[in-house]
Amino acid sequence: MENLQKLINQFKEIFGSDDGIRAFFAPGRVNLIGEHTDYNGGHVFPCALDVGTTAIAKKRNDRKLRFYSMNFSEKGVIEVDLDGIEYKKSDDWANYPKGVIDVFQKANYKMDSGLDVLYFGDIPNGAGLSSSASIELATGVMLNHLFEFNIEQIEIVKLAQKAENEFIGVKCGIMDQFASGMGKKDHAVLLDCQTLEYTYTPFQLEDYALVIANTNKSRGLADSKYNERRAECERALEQLQKELDIDSLGDLIVDDIEKYKYLIENETDRKRAKHAVSENSRTLTAVDMLNKGDLDAFGRLMSASHLSLRDDYEVTGKELDALVEAAWAEEALGARMTGAGFGGCTVNLVKKDRLDSFIESVGKRYEAATGLKADFYVVKIGDGAREIQL
């Protein structure tokens, strides 16, 4: 956060004065395993990153909301009336904070004044590392502190997801907002998305590093394909429920899917359900293996997760597959796509003493296969959303 002073200077330049400002931060996340299981009542195993969104904010004396993002400076200051918040395409990125403010108002957390807010994000946008959840959580935590709502962090997480579902219109599960809100330094968190019970698992690897690789393939159309996958799973669940007493696909074990697949009419829906169920079981086994210190097994399950996302869930695509295959060829202990898919990033377990050669060789293989250059980041696991003392 050594850039905080830069952000404060920028705030002063844009909004006139930095008297009484406060600062908030919410991280992005990387999911280690448990993909497309959250909205299916299964488990996920993400961790928060040490990069994310910082918000510098100050209450106003009127009911205007004024937003500025250093990442979208060309959009200038976006101004909205607190009493007339509605989704507007032209407000672009500012729909995220607007959405959070809107759900807070509707949940009766009423703000008694407007705000000036400057945002700065150091996660690549649209790379599947939850830059949007991090803006939402930074906003939620900011409102909670500035207006002294006294809301528990888990409630802020739920409100942020609601904003994304209802205001933005992306029917995401709870994972991203949860990881950004509840993450813990040097830990991954196993979350049961049905009950919201969770446990932190230390994730400090002696000889291995976690490496995120960005395909730099933009995730065009990802939101509509995401919603389509959700609908396919919901249809499969409804058909299974005709004979089975279950609340979600997360209630099934792998054998059930084979046994009851005749209940699911459509072959595609069957494959989607198979992924949701097998991924949930892989996630639980993977966390078990990690707790036993069997990192090899954890890595193998990561790779199996990718295959299931490629073959059964069909959310990988040429670039993610090429980047994962390159990592496998360069002896990653485990490699898989992370996040929603259709582009974005992979996550890799790599021997620390081979890091440089891994990054170089995987980069070359990926470029040869796709013509694109990948970016690599060695992950540091950080804490969840919070106020930063100035």
The residue among 264 and 340 lying less far from ligand GLA, judged by its C-beta, is: 340
Closest approach of Cβ 254 to ligand GLA, in Å? Answer: 19
Please check whether residue 95 is in contact with residue 132, taking contact to mean a CB–CB distance below 8 angstroms.
no
Mode of pairing for the β-strands spanning 187-192 and 208-214:
unpaired
Closest approach of Cβ 225 to ligand GLA, in Å? Answer: 11
The residue among 21 and 315 lying less far from ligand GLA, judged by its C-beta, is: 315
- Decide if residue 36 touches ligand GLA (CB under 6 A): yes
- State the DSSP H helix or E strand holding residue 228, giving kind and residue range, or none if neither: helix 222-241
Strands (E), 208-310: 208-214
Q: How far apart, in whole angstroms, are the C-alpha atoms of residue 238 and residue 246?
A: 10
Q: How far apart, in whole angstroms, are the C-alpha atoms of residue 228 and residue 28?
A: 24
Closest approach of Cβ 31 to ligand GLA, in Å? Answer: 6
**Quick one: which segment of 84-92, 172-180, 196-204, 260-268 binds ligand GLA (CB under 6 A)?**
172-180
Query: Interface residues for ligand GLA in 137-166 (CB under 6 A)?
Result: none
Closest approach of Cβ 168 to ligand GLA, in Å? Answer: 11
- Per the rule left: phi > 0, alpha: psi between -120 and 50, beta: everything else, 344 is left
- Decide if residue 183 touches ligand GLA (CB under 6 A): no
Residue 119 has phi, psi (to 5 degrees) of -115, 145
Q: How far apart, in whole angstroms, are the C-alpha atoms of residue 286 and residue 297?
A: 7
- Decide if residue 172 touches ligand GLA (CB under 6 A): yes
Residue whose token pair is 């089975």 = 244
- Decide if residue 176 touches ligand GLA (CB under 6 A): yes
Residue 88: CB atoms within 10 A of its CB come to 12
**Quick one: which segment of 89-97, 170-178, 208-216, 347-355 binds ligand GLA (CB under 6 A)?**
170-178
Nearest to 67 by CA among 56, 51, 81, 78: 78
**Quick one: which segment of 14-22, 142-150, 167-175, 238-246 binds ligand GLA (CB under 6 A)?**
167-175
Nearest to 218 by CA among 101, 329, 340: 340
Mode of pairing for the β-strands spanning 198-202 and 208-214:
unpaired
Instruction: Decide: helix, strand or coil at residue 121.
Output: strand
- Decide if residue 39 touches ligand GLA (CB under 6 A): yes
Please check whether residue 309 is in contact with residue 316, taking contact to mean a CB–CB distance below 8 angstroms.
yes
Say which of 176, 251, 269, 321 is annotated catalytic.
176
Residue 237 has phi, psi (to 5 degrees) of -60, -45
- Decide if residue 229 touches ligand GLA (CB under 6 A): no
Closest approach of Cβ 34 to ligand GLA, in Å? Answer: 7
Active site residue 176: yes
Total of chain residues touching ligand GLA, rule CB under 6 A: 10
- Decide if residue 35 touches ligand GLA (CB under 6 A): yes
**Quick one: which segment of 173-181, 231-239, 296-304, 356-364 binds ligand GLA (CB under 6 A)?**
173-181
Closest approach of Cβ 334 to ligand GLA, in Å? Answer: 17
The residue among 117 and 179 lying less far from ligand GLA, judged by its C-beta, is: 179
Q: How far apart, in whole angstroms, are the C-alpha atoms of residue 337 and residue 234?
A: 23
Q: Exactly one of 70, 159, 175, 257 binds ligand GLA (CB under 6 A); which one?
A: 175
Closest approach of Cβ 39 to ligand GLA, in Å? Answer: 6
The residue among 181 and 363 lying less far from ligand GLA, judged by its C-beta, is: 181
301: which 2 tokens? 């399950």
Please check whether residue 127 is in contact with residue 71, taking contact to mean a CB–CB distance below 8 angstroms.
no
**Quick one: which segment of 14-22, 32-40, 198-206, 375-383 binds ligand GLA (CB under 6 A)?**
32-40
Q: Exactly one of 21, 340, 350, 359 binds ligand GLA (CB under 6 A); which one?
A: 340
- Decide if residue 232 touches ligand GLA (CB under 6 A): no
Q: How far apart, in whole angstroms, are the C-alpha atoms of residue 232 and residue 214?
A: 28
The number of helices, as runs of H, and strands, as runs of E, in the chain is 11, 12
- Decide if residue 339 touches ligand GLA (CB under 6 A): yes
Residues designated as active site: 176
Point out which residues bind ligand GLA (CB under 6 A): 35-36, 38-39, 172-173, 175-176, 339-340
